[in-house]
Amino acid sequence: MAKPIVIGISGGVDSAVAAALLKREGHDVVAVFMKNWEEEDETGVCTAVEDYDMVRGVCQKLDIPYYTANFTREYRDRVFADFLSELEKGRTPNPDVLCNREIKFKAFLDMAMKLDAQALATGHYAQLGRDSDGSYTLLRGADPGKDQSYFLYMLGQEALSRAMFPVGHLNKTDVRRIAKELGLPNAERKDSTGICFIGERNFSKFLSQHLASQPGNIVDINGKVLGRHDGLIFYTIGQRKGIRLGGGSGDGRPWFVVEKRLATNELIVAEGHDAPQLFAGALLGEQLHFIKGEAPAKEFDCTCKIRYRQPDQGCHVVVDGDKCRVTFDVPQRAVTPGQSVVFYMGAVCLGGAIITCAD
């Protein structure tokens, strides 16, 4: 008998349709709901309960078995602890990238292999390819507005050899249409937004429960004190809302965060969306990772993204061990330490790095 395909199912429409497509192709499908977080939201509701109820309805409709796997300890140890540590360092982490590497395609993948599964499927909008040497490549999802290869750049050959992305070749509208045709209960369910463990909650209030904040001065680029901030952990480069400052020079231009100075606990701001201090011609990166295990060359030209859904930007990459320097063809706005720079060669995601600083 063919080995089953284990699919991570979340309660959302993407993973539901992915499961349906696998079953339509004749695969033996086993659905697993991953529980990564247990805290209730501000209204006293644990969203995992609602999600699991939806998973139950989907799996009963598709007539596939479903189970729950609890990865809350692994998530706290491998993802959430890093998230808090990065914030304390003044950076803006992206936990979804780490969750894919450490939870979905490590802890969960290990569990699936112990169940003797032939593959692990998810509802990611990404695709797989094979090079002439037999190695796996990660390709963009067909829907440019939903492509999630950015969040998967930390995966390696072993993970990709076991991965399946059944909806990667579809547009979101096609996924919704298929869900409606199948009568799935989540066909019209709203997509989840924000960081997975924060969801729709107030970000600052959530962080205050886990990290101590130290208020300090808000200072302009000339050193003038303009006001007070609530704690550097609550702000990120390029932020406008939440600074609580009026127009700078009386012309109504808003203030934007351009720097966080940990040594003096100062939040540095500049006037206007296009303030020169918001732009950088290059960046430095660390924790450099390439999906094929090594860089295409010590120096190479490609395109990159420094945030999800950003249009591709031309760049030149210089590799130095597990670090890199990325020089942009055009200066980029709000290069943010802690976020990821992800490299592309056409449709192929090459890999990426964690942004250390603008350079």
% of the chain residues with pLDDT over 70: 93
Given a cut of 60, whether residue 69 has pLDDT beyond it is yes
**196 is an active site residue:** yes
DSSP three-state, residue 73: helix
Cα–Cα distance for residue pair 41/49, rounded to 1 Å: 12
Q: What is the CATH number of domain 279-358?
A: 2.40.30.10
Backbone torsions φ then ψ of 225, nearest 5 degrees: -75, 125
Lowest mean pLDDT among 47-56, 57-66, 127-136, 237-246: 47-56
Backbone torsions φ then ψ of 79, nearest 5 degrees: -120, -55
For the beta carbon of residue 334, count every other beta carbon within 10 angstroms: 19
DSSP three-state, residue 226: strand
213-273 CATH fold: SH3 type barrels. (2.30.30)
Confidence at residue 5, expressed as pLDDT on a 0 to 100 scale: 97
Q: Provide the token pair at 214.
A: 């130290």
Q: Provide the token pair at 24.
A: 């339509």
Cα–Cα distance for residue pair 261/216, rounded to 1 Å: 10
Instruction: Report the amino acid identity of residue 274.
Output: D
Count helices and strands in the chain by DSSP H and E runs:
9, 17
Chain-wide mean pLDDT for the chain? 92
- pLDDT band with cut points at 50, 70 and 90 for residue 329: very high
For the beta carbon of residue 85, count every other beta carbon within 10 angstroms: 12
Residues 93, 82 contacting (CB under 8 angstroms)? yes
The CA-atom distances, in angstroms, between 345 and each of 42, 138, 216, 267 are: 43, 11, 43, 37
% of the chain residues with pLDDT over 90: 83
DSSP three-state, residue 194: coil
Backbone region of residue 353 per phi and psi (left: phi > 0; alpha: psi in -120 to 50; beta: other values): beta
- pLDDT band with cut points at 50, 70 and 90 for residue 43: very low
Cα–Cα distance for residue pair 102/96, rounded to 1 Å: 10
Q: Which of 46, 59, 196, 324 is catalytic?
A: 196
**324 is an active site residue:** no
Q: Mean pLDDT, to the nearest integer, of 334-354? A: 98
Residue-range domain boundaries for the chain: 5-182, 213-273, 279-358
Cα–Cα distance for residue pair 116/268, rounded to 1 Å: 54
Confidence at residue 42, expressed as pLDDT on a 0 to 100 scale: 46
Confidence at residue 50, expressed as pLDDT on a 0 to 100 scale: 83
Dump pLDDT digits (tens) for 288-313.
999 999 999 999 999 999 999 999 99
Q: What is the CATH number of domain 5-182?
A: 3.40.50.620
The size of the chain, in residues, is 359
CA angle 59, 62, 67 (to 5 degrees): 25
Given a cut of 50, whether residue 36 has pLDDT beyond it is yes
Backbone torsions φ then ψ of 210, nearest 5 degrees: -120, -20
**158: which residues sit within 8 A by CB, 6+ positions away?**
none
Confidence at residue 193, expressed as pLDDT on a 0 to 100 scale: 65
Q: Which of 59, 99, 324, 349 is catalytic?
A: 99
Element (H, E) at 293: none
Confidence at residue 51, expressed as pLDDT on a 0 to 100 scale: 87
Residues 43, 10 contacting (CB under 8 angstroms)? no
Given a cut of 50, whether residue 219 has pLDDT beyond it is yes
Given a cut of 60, whether residue 40 has pLDDT beyond it is no
Cα–Cα distance for residue pair 237/228, rounded to 1 Å: 17
Q: Provide the token pair at 76.
A: 């706290």
- Tokens 């979340």 map to which residue? 10
Q: Mean pLDDT, to the nearest integer, of 275-282? A: 97
DSSP 170: S
Dump pLDDT digits (tens) for 168-203.
999 999 999 999 999 999 999 888 766 666 655 677
Kindly tell me the burial class for residue 111, based on how many C-beta atoms sit within 10 Å of its own C-beta (0-12, 13-18, 19 or more).
middle
